[in-house]
Structure 1
Amino acid sequence: MTGVDVDRIEAIDVHTHVQLSVADQPEETEGEGFAAMTKYFKAGKVTRFTVPMLAEYYRERRMAAVVFTVDSVHLTGREPHPPNEEIAELAAEYSDVLIPFASVDPHRGAKGVRTAQRLITEHGVRGFKFHPTSQGFFPNDRMAYPLYEVLAEHGMVALFHTGQTGAGAGRPGGGGLRLKYSNPMAVDDVAADFPDLKIILAHPSFPWQDEALSVAMHKPGVHIDLSGWSPKYFPPQLVQYANTLLADKVLFGSDFPMITPDRWLADFANAGFRDEVRPKILKANAARLFGLTGAGG
């Protein structure tokens, strides 16, 4: 169980990437794909963070953060880096501010199911990140259902990338990545078939924002995170629903390090969100979703 005390933090960032292993030299992680990603986000010079670096960064801001890597071995042929185990073990050392997620490519089949089970029972992860475009699968592909069964059994949170992605953006053929996999309507099937599974639709789901709002409205277990975009570019209907019908189901997320929480929060202040809704988005909704409590229990 995480040691995050909600009384001691001001926000929970539900979407941050660990892109550097404690065993890496920084130059080992640079490459064409990373350069294309920073250009897409207009992020300037981006520093990759290890888990301990992330813990220090978020402690300074009195925030907690969900941390993860992405396992896309089916398309890349590479194991997730840093490994899920490293992220979980190090996050446990900084449990006052970090909530560990894992990532398992559904194409791993039965082996992936066993890996997920082990990551939950032996490493204490609290959820799983899926990136349908980078992993090359539709979320409602029955191939992934045994994996979801394990997640639902253990009360995990499933975080699905939705909409357009910076991964492959601007590269020839989009780096071979296909946007069709990340339509949130495919997650609607998952929510229907696994009603006890807690789900987050990541990002404003361009070009399927209305679909994402519809799924979150219809399925009680589905939430939306606001990561990956500056709030000043949010579609008007997303702000409208966050202020009203989905006020209890919208979550703060940055997509760090491509978008920093500092940049996100500065734009959030002027993005038309109601004063009474802001605390829900920044902390209360995520605290409830993750079952976090204050010092009083």
Structure 2
Amino acid sequence: MAGRMNVAELVAIDVHTHAEISKDGHGSLSPELMAASAEYFKAHGRRQPTIDEIAAYYRERKMAAVVFTVDAEHATGHPPISNEEVAESCAEHADVLIPFASIDPWKGRAGAREARRLVERYGVRGFKFHPCIQGFAPNDRVAYPLYEAIEELGVPALFHTGLTGIGAGVPGGGGIRLKYGDPMLIDDVAVDFPELRIILAHPSFPWQDAALAVATHKPYVYIDLSGWSPKYFPPQLVRYANTLLKDKVLFGSDYPVITPDRWLADFEKIEIKPEVRPKILKENAARLLGLGGEGSVPS
């Protein structure tokens, strides 16, 4: 069992990495959707790292990582990787890994009970939603019992926003509807659950301005920068990260489809103020996640 996380010694906290394969070899996505993702990210022949391998990778780099899978069984028919397995594996590497869970919102109140159990018994620190793959609009009332539980538990909800590479190029996009990635749908969630901490994942193409507007207007809405090389960030995202949202923008890679090595190398080359870089790379996430004595998010 690894020791406790020492935030002061970390170079960065990556808030967006994926557990793609379970200990028994079960994948988080169907082979068709996984192949489409590999094609989109030019990641042919890439191995799917185990959680133990993710831990070793981040430990070597003196980084911490949030790890999650996606439960989209209702929409896809593909069983997810067990949240319990993810949480237990992360607990074995508590010095560098932070477990998030994913619960299919179509589970309704049963999902809310599962959320409470995962936080209280398994130490889960947040929840991942992928509305496009899970087949729901974020403001659909079917998800509200789950949001209510997450808000009460005081942990963040991370939502995929914008285009997804999963299903890209497959006829009909593999059944995945991009409209559910519009961050303006999550504005309703921020209104209806005013104490819920929300992370909008990725530069939200083609709705980048909407994401910036929601994060500027709603005090507990954050943005992670995963899924894109920083050299492709739209200029308004860089401008807001340097100014109005400097305390609400978070480093995320999308590992293993994008490595933190590549992301950080490209991040060095964009015009982020020196005093803002440590906020994005570590300080904002440490505060949001309540890590290592950094304190909780101020109310």
TM-score (norm 1): 0.95
Q: Indicate if the aligned counterparts of 2:29 and 2:78 stay in contact, CA closer than 8 A.
A: no
Are the equivalent residues in 2 in contact too, given 1:104–1:116 (CA < 8 A)? yes
Shift in Å, 1:295: 9.7
Alpha-carbon distance in structure 1 between the residues aligned to 2:277 and 2:45: 30
Residue 90 (structure 1) aligns with: 89
Between 48-57 and 280-289, report the one with greater CA deviation: 48-57
Q: Which residue of 2 aligns with 1:34?
A: 34
Q: Write out aligned runs for 1:4-19 (5 A).
A: 4-19=5-20
Following TM superposition, the consecutive aligned residue runs of length 4 or more in structure 1 with deviations greater than 3 angstroms are none
Q: CA deviation at 1:273?
A: 1.3
Q: Is the 8 A contact 1:7 1:295 kept in 2?
A: no
Distance 1:124 1:153 in 2: 15
1:234-281 alpha-carbon deviations (Å, 9 max, x no partner): 000000000111000000000011000001011111122121111110
Residue 131 of structure 1: aligned partner? 130
- Taking a change above 3 Å as real, the CA distance of residues 43 and 271 of structure 1, as seen in their structure-2 partners, is farther
Alignment of 1:1-297 (within 5 A): 3-24=4-25, 31-81=31-81, 83-293=82-292
Unaligned runs of 5+ in 1: none
- Counterparts of 2:100 and 2:32 in 1: how far apart (Å)? 26
**What amino acid maps onto 2:289 in structure 1?**
F
Structure 1 window deviating more from structure 2 (109-118 vs 93-102): it is 109-118
**Tell me, what secondary structure is at the counterpart of 2:15?**
strand
Percent of aligned pairs with the same residue? Answer: 65
Cα distance change on mapping 1:94 and 1:233 into 2, 3 Å: same
Distance in 2 between residues matched to 1:147 and 1:77, nearest whole Å: 21
Segments of structure 2 that go 5 or more residues without pairing to the other structure are none
CA-to-aligned-CA distance 1:70-109 (integer Å, 9 cap, x gap):
000111112212x100000111111110000000011112
> Conserved in 2, the CA contact under 8 Å of 1:7 and 1:294?
no
CA contact (8 A) 2:287 2:294 kept: no
Shift of 1:294: 5.4
Decide whether the 8 Å contact of 1:202 with 1:227 is kept in 2: yes
> Contact 2:163 / 2:181 at 8 angstroms: preserved in 1?
yes
Tell me the SS of whatever aligns to 2:121. Answer: helix
Contact kept, 8 Å, 2:23 with 2:50, in 1: the verdict is yes
Q: 1:89 to 1:226 in 2, by over 3 A?
A: same
Q: Secondary structure at the match of 1:16?
A: strand
RMSD: 1.8
Give the drift of 1:196.
Answer: 0.8
Distance (whole Å) between structure 2 residues aligned to residue 97 and residue 52 of structure 1 = 11
Pair 153,43 (structure 1): closer, same or farther in 2 beyond 3 Å: same
Over residues 89-135 of structure 1, what are the superposed CA-to-partner deviations in whole Å (9 max), with x where a residue is unaligned? Answer: 11111111000000001111222122112111111100000000000
Alpha-carbon offset, residue 23 of structure 1: 2.0
> What residue identity is the alignment partner of 1:7?
A
Tell me the amino acid that sits aligned with residue 24 of structure 2. A
TM-score normalised to the size of structure 2? Answer: 0.94
Residue-by-residue CA offset, 1:168-198 (whole Å, 9 max, x unaligned): 0111111110000110001111111111111
Which shifted more, 5-14 or 40-49? 40-49
Using a 3 Å threshold, how does the CA distance of structure 1 residues 138 and 30 change in structure 2: closer, same or farther?
A: closer
